[in-house]
Structure 1
Amino acid sequence: MAYFKKGLALLLVSVLIFVLTACSGAKDTAGSKGKKVLTVSVEETYKHYVESIKTDFEKENNVTIKIVEKPMFDQLEALPLDGPAGNAPDVMLAAYDRIGGLGQQGHLLDIKPSDTKSFGSKEMQQVTVDGKVYGMPLVIETLVLYYNKHLLKTVPKTFKDLEELTKDSRFAFASEKGKSTAFLAKWTDFYMSYGLLAGFGGYVFGKNGTDAKDVGLNNKGTVQAVEYAGKWFKEYWPKGMQDNSSADDFIQQTFIEGKAAAVIGGPWSASNYKDAKLNYGAAKIPTLPNGKEYAPFAGGKGWVASKYTKEPQLAEKWLEYAANDHNAYVFYDQTNEVPANLAAREKAGKQKNELTSAVIKQYETATPTPIIPEMAEVWTGAESLIFDAASGKKSAQQSANDAVSVIKENIKEKYVK
């Protein structure tokens, strides 16, 4: 009887293994008639783009592209767990500032692209860490100046022009005598104010954003920038501009209502202005008082492949294919997001789209966002850099020193072994 039970148990195990194997095989080739399957994860809004370019890739590589719809940041957050469990997609989109950390942690496939000449050094810098390339650039992003065409006959060229606008009674803030909403920018937000700091000579990390031991956010230039920001908070702007949690809502509403002539914002703001039927324009941010250009963060997103993919060669091929001259322009044509690919960007720049032209021009002075993991500590440490000075709690130098102290301490605690 014991032998019978043992034999029956072995038979059941064999059957179970056969069934699981069959199911696994069915999952890999379902609907593909035996072809290999490459899973591509994108937001719902980009699904049509993938569908429009995948056919040629499928034919050339005898593969089936399976599209998974998932928000980009949700997908990136899930990768460290889904990857080892075998549930991650093969390729996906990633914001540049997430690529470095995921790459260094071993979650992204490092690639050796056959073509990098289609991109500038600034674009490749945003997908490269410690000499390893972890993706292909797709989109560039940076802040620009939005202005109300009904209120301004000419685009402000300098910050002196913006200061002159505050004298215009049309923009007087009724609740606070002497304050103006002519020009607004959420400078309590480090992402929004960094272009000001960098334009005066401040910087996050040395060696093009790769040396976390060298933090340049309390140097002479940074302090001058914080002092200049303080001038706007104290002399021109309503007190509510110091409230980091509500300032953005105030800025957007004021601009949409025609009570602000110009604001600094990202490409993502354009859809709201369009929905509000605002007659707006977009341009490069005006020149700073020191004669230098505003130098906001350069960002965007690129294609990356999971380190856990079973099809690394196909995944790498997709990254290059989806970011090539033709397909990068197709992406722009469908989304209006400015291409990282130089040829596609040149073509996009000829379409006489103000926002596209503004992003392209501003990107020339933009600073690539450091993509090393230590950058996470900067967002936290510099959170109140300008607020502390603008509110009068600290001097510009003390506020900068304290921010850098927090950043360095957190980096030492989390990253230095």
Structure 2
Amino acid sequence: MLKIKMLLVYIFLSVNISTVIADDNVLTVWEDKGKSLAIVNQIAEFEKNNNCIVKIFEKDAEKQLDLIMTNNGQTPDVFILISDRLIDAYSNKIVREIDYSQEDRDLYETSALNALSVANKVYAAPRSIESLVIYYNKDLLEYPYETLEEYAEYSEKIKSKEKYGLLGNFQKFYYANSFINAYGGYTFGKYKNKNINIFDIGLNNEGTILGLKELKDFSQRTMPKEALSKKADSVIDLMFTKGKAAAVINGPIALKKYSKSGINFGIAPLPKLKNGKKLNGYYGVKGYAISSKSRKHQLAEKFIRFINSPENAQNRYFTNAELPPIKTLLEQSFISCDELANTIISQINEASQMPNVHKMRIVWKTMDESLEKILSISNPNYKTVLNEAVSKIKQCD
């Protein structure tokens, strides 16, 4: 409650003080929903050093670019850009290049910086890296299982008690992609220069079919119907926090929620499938970007350098459990000893970067629709459903 009051007081003061500061020195920043407290405490120093006011507005990170593109709401100076939407932002001229020297670039993990770059130009400062992990209930499982089959067998044993082994929102492509990748399916291929080839789509190949067959078999054996519905996210979270599910697959976003519930949980890497390969999904990068419409781009760039400094990124890590891809921080003992951080890092080493191309927008939508068909029909024709999906993806620009 005290933290909420501090935040409200800060925003109130910002609004009132800004009336005596020139508009050119009022910076508007969009932070992720529920995450602003981690940066509010640092802003006073930046305001003092730059004779400015920073106004913070919380908006869902996944919706920020769409809000800017559709002009719903005031355009910010700084906002959060997710790596798979970079090309949308770049091609629509929504983001401004950040003038990073080689010294600036060397601060970050190369893969994170590349995820937010086009033609070797950086368009967002890497803020956090994310991947899927296992959260398991230590009161139900002493140790997490190594294979998906073990979770399935455990689930069948405890089904009579109305409990489940492992749950995940598998009708969403973000989760199901872990099965696809493990069997050699892929979203887009790559040219020899490692650039993404949007004309090479592997979502209807044999590997994709094998991965989805194992996913469907696991779902039919172990998953309650409500966990494969449109309300799956909230249903799965509730089952886990109420002790009805021994384990769930989720990202770092769930950490606060599970911590507040009081459940005794641990974190582990994703399990192996029948082919001996681990579930292997995407990893994503969130970054601070500058709006091309901002008339205060120099101040905005100063702010990004300030708020994403190792010291302030460390504060975000402790406040929001977000893992910053800053080399010096990843080497610190408080991260190397952190269960979530270690698991995310190990997953990212095996995961593939979320493609930052236009077509990902239609990929998410089309594959979600295809998964709903596959998981709701008793004996789906995988090839037909997936051929239709790939055809739709190819037709859309």
**TM-score normalised by L of structure 2:** 0.84
Picking from 64, 79, 102, the partner of 2:52 is 64
Q: Tell me, yes or no, if structure 1 residue 318 matches structure 2 residue 306.
A: no
Picking from 258, 264, 267, the partner of 2:252 is 267
Please report how far the alpha carbon of residue 349 of structure 1 lies from its aligned counterpart in structure 2 after TM superposition: 5.0
Output the amino acid matched with 2:278: E
Q: Distance in 1 between matches of 2:291 and 2:128?
A: 19
Where structure 1 has 5 or more consecutive residues not aligned to the other structure, the ranges are 1-26, 175-179
Please report how far the alpha carbon of residue 32 of structure 1 lies from its aligned counterpart in structure 2 after TM superposition: 3.6
Please report how far the alpha carbon of residue 329 of structure 1 lies from its aligned counterpart in structure 2 after TM superposition: 1.0
Question: Where does residue 102 of structure 1 map in the other structure?
Answer: 89
Picking from 405, 414, 417, the partner of 2:391 is 405
Distance of aligned partners of 1:254 and 1:342 in 2 relative to their CA distance in 1, 3 Å threshold: same
Q: Tell me, yes or no, if structure 1 residue 188 matches structure 2 residue 174.
A: no
Q: Distance in 1 between matches of 2:373 and 2:22?
A: 63
Question: Where does residue 144 of structure 2 map in the other structure?
Answer: 155
Q: Distance in 1 between matches of 2:243 and 2:69?
A: 46
Q: Distance in 2 between matches of 1:362 and 1:43?
A: 23
Distance of aligned partners of 1:257 and 1:330 in 2 relative to their CA distance in 1, 3 Å threshold: closer
Question: Where does residue 159 of structure 2 map in the other structure?
Answer: 171
Secondary structure of the residue aligned to 2:272 is coil
Q: Distance in 2 between matches of 1:81 and 1:264?
A: 33
Please report how far the alpha carbon of residue 191 of structure 1 lies from its aligned counterpart in structure 2 after TM superposition: 1.2
Query: Could you report, residue by residue, the CA deviation over 1:291-314 in whole angstroms, capped at 9, with x for unpaired residues?
Result: 223222212421000111223333
- Structure number, greater radius of gyration: 1
Distance of aligned partners of 1:231 and 1:325 in 2 relative to their CA distance in 1, 3 Å threshold: same
Distance of aligned partners of 1:326 and 1:41 in 2 relative to their CA distance in 1, 3 Å threshold: same
Please report how far the alpha carbon of residue 120 of structure 1 lies from its aligned counterpart in structure 2 after TM superposition: 2.1
Q: Distance in 2 between matches of 1:267 and 1:401?
A: 33
Picking from 187, 190, 198, the partner of 1:212 is 198
CA RMSD of aligned residues (A): 3.0
Q: Distance in 1 between matches of 2:235 and 2:195?
A: 33
Distance of aligned partners of 1:106 and 1:403 in 2 relative to their CA distance in 1, 3 Å threshold: same
Please report how far the alpha carbon of residue 151 of structure 1 lies from its aligned counterpart in structure 2 after TM superposition: 1.0
Residues 28 and 36, structure 1, Cα contact 8 Å, conserved in 2: no
Residues 156 and 221, structure 2, Cα contact 8 Å, conserved in 1: no
Please report how far the alpha carbon of residue 58 of structure 1 lies from its aligned counterpart in structure 2 after TM superposition: 4.5
Residues 173 and 238, structure 1, Cα contact 8 Å, conserved in 2: no
1:46-57 correspondence to structure 2 within 5 Å:
46-57=35-46
Question: Where does residue 100 of structure 2 map in the other structure?
Answer: 113
Q: Distance in 1 between matches of 2:356 and 2:319?
A: 28
Secondary structure of the residue aligned to 1:383 is helix
Question: Where does residue 312 of structure 2 map in the other structure?
Answer: 327
Secondary structure of the residue aligned to 1:166 is helix
Q: Distance in 2 between matches of 1:192 and 1:33?
A: 47
Query: Could you report, residue by residue, the CA deviation over 1:137-169 in whole angstroms, capped at 9, with x for unpaired residues?
Result: 10111111011101111221222332332342x
Q: Distance in 2 between matches of 1:358 and 1:329?
A: 18
Please report how far the alpha carbon of residue 82 of structure 1 lies from its aligned counterpart in structure 2 after TM superposition: 5.4
Please report how far the alpha carbon of residue 107 of structure 1 lies from its aligned counterpart in structure 2 after TM superposition: 0.9
Where structure 2 has 5 or more consecutive residues not aligned to the other structure, the ranges are 1-15
Residues 38 and 63, structure 1, Cα contact 8 Å, conserved in 2: no
Residues 125 and 368, structure 1, Cα contact 8 Å, conserved in 2: no
Q: Distance in 1 between matches of 2:241 and 2:300?
A: 44
Query: Could you report, residue by residue, the CA deviation over 1:242-292 in whole angstroms, capped at 9, with x for unpaired residues?
Result: x43143344333323323221111222233323332111111111222222
1:236-385 correspondence to structure 2 within 5 Å:
236-241=222-227, 243-347=228-332, 349-350=334-335, 352-385=337-370
Question: Where does residue 9 of structure 2 map in the other structure?
Answer: none
Q: Distance in 1 between matches of 2:195 and 2:221?
A: 34
Question: Where does residue 10 of structure 1 map in the other structure?
Answer: none
**TM-score normalised by L of structure 1:** 0.80
Secondary structure of the residue aligned to 1:313 is helix
Output the amino acid matched with 2:201: V
Question: Where does residue 9 of structure 1 map in the other structure?
Answer: none
Q: Tell me, yes or no, if structure 1 residue 222 matches structure 2 residue 227.
A: no
Q: Distance in 2 between matches of 1:43 and 1:182?
A: 32
Q: Distance in 1 between matches of 2:247 and 2:23?
A: 57
Q: Distance in 2 between matches of 1:52 and 1:140?
A: 22
Q: Distance in 2 between matches of 1:385 and 1:82?
A: 31
Distance of aligned partners of 1:155 and 1:309 in 2 relative to their CA distance in 1, 3 Å threshold: same
